Amino acid sequence: MKALQLKSYGKSAQLQFENIPRPAINDDELLVRVYAAGLNAIDCMIPTGSFKPILKLTLPAVMGSDLAGVIEEVGNNVTRFKPGDAVFASLFDMDQGALAEYAAVPERAAALKPASLDFIEAASLPMVALTCWQAFSRAKLSAGQRVFIPAGSGGVGTFAIQLAKHLGASVGTTTSAANMELVSALGADEAIDYKKTDFDKILSNYDLALATVRGDGLEKTLEILKPHGEVVSLVGPPDLPFARQRGMNSVMKAVFWLLSRKIISRAARRQIRYSFLFVSPNGDQLSEIAALIDAGKLKPVIDKTFSFADSINALSYLAAGHAKGKVVVQLTESPSAS
């Protein structure tokens, strides 16, 4: 089968199409013919090697995390799915990828594709939807609270705004003037043009912030939160609880403690809790998300679709940082919503 593989790390990371064997599945896995693969910002960062201490990939590794497709074979212990089922899943944090004609998917990571979506739409969702779901669950976001979601027109932002509104929260966000209409249509109550105004000069009294942007935005975010508010960071710095969760050695625990010490101390002085979130594949959560999508409560936002042969350009386009919503690679033609 054809697959896009990462051959080596670095600034000039080597990405190359190869013909490799179709994956052999374990007893708890599904063999999925991949119809579409959704790209995420981390897919552009992994080749640089910046996640080598955290993600243990065996090179050459198939790129991509999110997929939608049709099951061709199931392992002996699989009980929830059968050949012919249309599914979507995230393979993030696994030593396998989605940018291939076939993928081995653990049963625990998969869910039936939302019936109302086509494969391209479904493939755009797993990582961003799970990230938002897990972040809001950790923070126990509830009706009447206020949540700040920077970069509201991005892949995470477009879904996070919708989910927060579904949960009954009020949403503040940042975006460019060109995307104000988009974030407002998704439900944002306050939208700040980040090119003209510092959000910390306008926003205040928020309960939760979902940190999605690197740089000094994280420290500014503390200024808009209430005492006893919370920051769930998707961009770091990683903290000691994360290192413990990953079973890292004492050296790495010390490194992450040092990396996060400044922001945790600064947050504590304002009685704010800081934590780092690393998304986990979860088929049960995807099933709940699929039900909300089919009920019309949430929808994907897709900026652009690329062909499989154009996958490297798709990653470059995403890395430029201007996508409105998600970027998806289509591997094969498929019925619109089968």
Of 306, 280, 286, the C-alpha closest to 298 is 286
Instruction: Tell me the C-alpha distance between 313 and 62, whole Å.
Output: 16
Which amino acid, one-letter code, is at 114?
P
Domains of the chain: 2-125+300-330 (3.90.180.10), 128-276 (3.40.50.720)
Instruction: Give the chain's mean pLDDT.
Output: 94
Half-sphere exposure of 81 (CA within 13 A, CB side): 33
For 324, other C-beta atoms within 10 Å of its C-beta total: 20
CA 79 to each of CA 57, 102, 107, 233: distance values in angstroms, whole numbers, following the listed order: 29, 21, 9, 35
User: pLDDT, tens digit, for every residue of 234-289?
Assistant: 998 999 999 999 999 999 999 999 999 999 999 999 999 999 999 999 999 999 99
User: pLDDT, tens digit, for every residue of 113-157?
Assistant: 999 999 999 999 999 999 999 999 999 999 999 999 999 999 999
Instruction: Tell me the C-alpha distance between 222 and 267, whole Å.
Output: 7
Instruction: Tell me the C-alpha distance between 266 and 258, whole Å.
Output: 13
Tell me what pLDDT residue 335 has: 55
Contacts for 37 with CB less than 8 Å, ≥ 6 apart: 64, 66, 67, 98, 99, 123, 328, 329, 331
Is the CB of residue 176 less than 8 Å from the CB of residue 195?
yes
Is the CB of residue 67 less than 8 Å from the CB of residue 36?
yes
3-state secondary structure of 337: coil
Tell me what pLDDT residue 162 has: 98
Evaluated on CA atoms 253, 256, 262, 268, the torsion sign reads negative
Which amino acid, one-letter code, is at 235?
V
Tell me what pLDDT residue 322 has: 87
Contacts for 304 with CB less than 8 Å, ≥ 6 apart: 314, 317, 323, 327, 328
Instruction: Tell me the C-alpha distance between 263 and 267, whole Å.
Output: 6
CA 21 to each of CA 24, 100, 102: distance values in angstroms, whole numbers, following the listed order: 8, 11, 10
For 24, other C-beta atoms within 10 Å of its C-beta total: 9
pLDDT band at 46 (very low <50, low <70, confident <90, very high): very high
User: pLDDT, tens digit, for every residue of 78-105?
Assistant: 999 999 999 999 999 998 899 999 999 9
User: pLDDT, tens digit, for every residue of 302-334?
Assistant: 999 999 999 999 999 999 988 999 999 999 876
Question: Kind of pairing, strands 66-74 and 29-39?
Answer: antiparallel
pLDDT band at 215 (very low <50, low <70, confident <90, very high): confident
Instruction: Tell me the C-alpha distance between 310 and 302, whole Å.
Output: 17
Tell me what pLDDT residue 213 has: 83
Instruction: Tell me the C-alpha distance between 327 and 317, whole Å.
Output: 8
Is the CB of residue 47 less than 8 Å from the CB of residue 13?
yes
Is the CB of residue 274 less than 8 Å from the CB of residue 264?
yes
Cis before residue 21, ω within 30 degrees of 0?
no
Question: Kind of pairing, strands 225-233 and 206-211?
Answer: parallel
Is the CB of residue 264 less than 8 Å from the CB of residue 88?
no
Instruction: Tell me the C-alpha distance between 333 and 167, whole Å.
Output: 35
Is the CB of residue 63 less than 8 Å from the CB of residue 6?
yes
For the entire predicted model, the pTM comes to: 0.95
For 138, other C-beta atoms within 10 Å of its C-beta total: 14
User: Over 70: is that where the pLDDT of 3 sits?
Assistant: yes
